[in-house]
Structure 1
Amino acid sequence: MSNVPMTVSGEAALRAELERLKKVDRPRITAAIAEARAHGDLKENAEYHAAREQQSFAEGRIMEIEGKLASAQVIDVTSIPKSGKVIFGTTIDLINLETDATVTYRIVGEDEADVKQNLISVGSPIARALIGKEEGDVVIVRAPGGDVEYEIDQVHHI
């Protein structure tokens, strides 16, 4: 299994979710199953089937998170010397050369990506176009709606 890049905050969020699933959700679901069993006939017991479905989802998510954490390569961008280059974990201010609109993105791991919060996946077309470039460079991003030309205004190692 290959290493999956992840930021320090992304790892912390996954560990917090894993902790919640194991220490809060798992005991709550187990108690709900026990209570539903006490009601008798399991064939027609909707509460029992709903609790078992929740248990299945929670256990699957626990296994998924444990797998991701086992193969995670946590990268602390603050410990990397600042070079002005776009690398994993950096925050980039871009200027759309067609519209002069400014946008800021942070390049993060697949699980951390959230476009609404301007967190883009390292595997996204825009991140792939930006990696390795420097402040002042012009990049062309091949997007589904057509090519977009950006100038890298600033690179922040936050």
Structure 2
Amino acid sequence: MSEKRWIDQGSYDKLQAELKTLTEEKRPEIARKIDEARQDGDLKENGAYHAARDEQSMNETRIAQLEELLRNCEVGEIPEDNGVVSPGMVVEAKVGPRDMKFLLGMREASEDMDLEVYSPQAPLGKAILGAKVGDTVPYTAPTGRKFDVKILSVTPFQG
């Protein structure tokens, strides 16, 4: 079973809308294409049939991803502005030599954002979770490199 991941209401609504479009509009459209292509005869060399089946496979894969995401997310209110790193907060930090600004939340909901998103379950998210403005915490990157992360600011996400 997956851990629950924080997501804001707007992102949740966007993912729900995408799921609805894929299941109620795209799925029947692809089924129609497959049926039309089947009527053309020999399926072995029917390019339209194979293209429609590939499209169906990609659509069903995305539907499964969205269902899993939505099943394993926790829709949260914008957190309190208390300077503590928690899901739903925009964090400005110095990670080693690099200045970064990102949202601690669900990466999958971040397509239209001009802000990087890190999951609280990601190595960086785990390292800074609960830290306060001014804190410096150790972080080991997936590559094995070790960095100090200085929390510069923490503000609630205003999607």
Which of the five TM-score ranges fits, normalised by the shorter chain?
0.7 to 0.9
Q: Specify the alignment match of 1:128 in structure 2.
A: 126
Q: 1:9-158 counterparts in 2 under 5 A?
A: 9-76=10-77, 78=78, 80-96=79-95, 99=97, 101-109=98-106, 111-112=108-109, 117-143=115-141, 144=143, 146-158=145-157
User: How far apart are 1:22 and its partner, in Å?
Assistant: 1.8
Letter in 2 for 1:137: D
SS in 2 for 1:132: coil
1:145 Cα deviation from its structure 2 partner: 5.4
Secondary structure of residue in 1 paired with 2:87: coil
Q: TM-score normalized by structure 1?
A: 0.82
TM norm structure 2: 0.82
Structure 1: stretches of 5+ with no match in the other structure: none
Q: Per-residue deviation at 1:94?
A: 0.8
Q: Which deviates the most, 141-150 or 104-113? A: 104-113
Deviations for 1:78-104, whole angstroms, at most 9, x for unmatched residues? 2x33221100111111124x53x4211
RMSD: 2.3
Following TM superposition, the consecutive aligned residue runs of length 4 or more in structure 1 with deviations greater than 6 angstroms are none
Tell me how far apart the structure 2 counterparts of residues 136 and 35 of structure 1 sit (CA, whole Å). Answer: 63
Over the matched positions of the two proteins, sequence identity in percent amounts to: 31
Structure-1 separation of matches of 2:117 and 2:124: 11
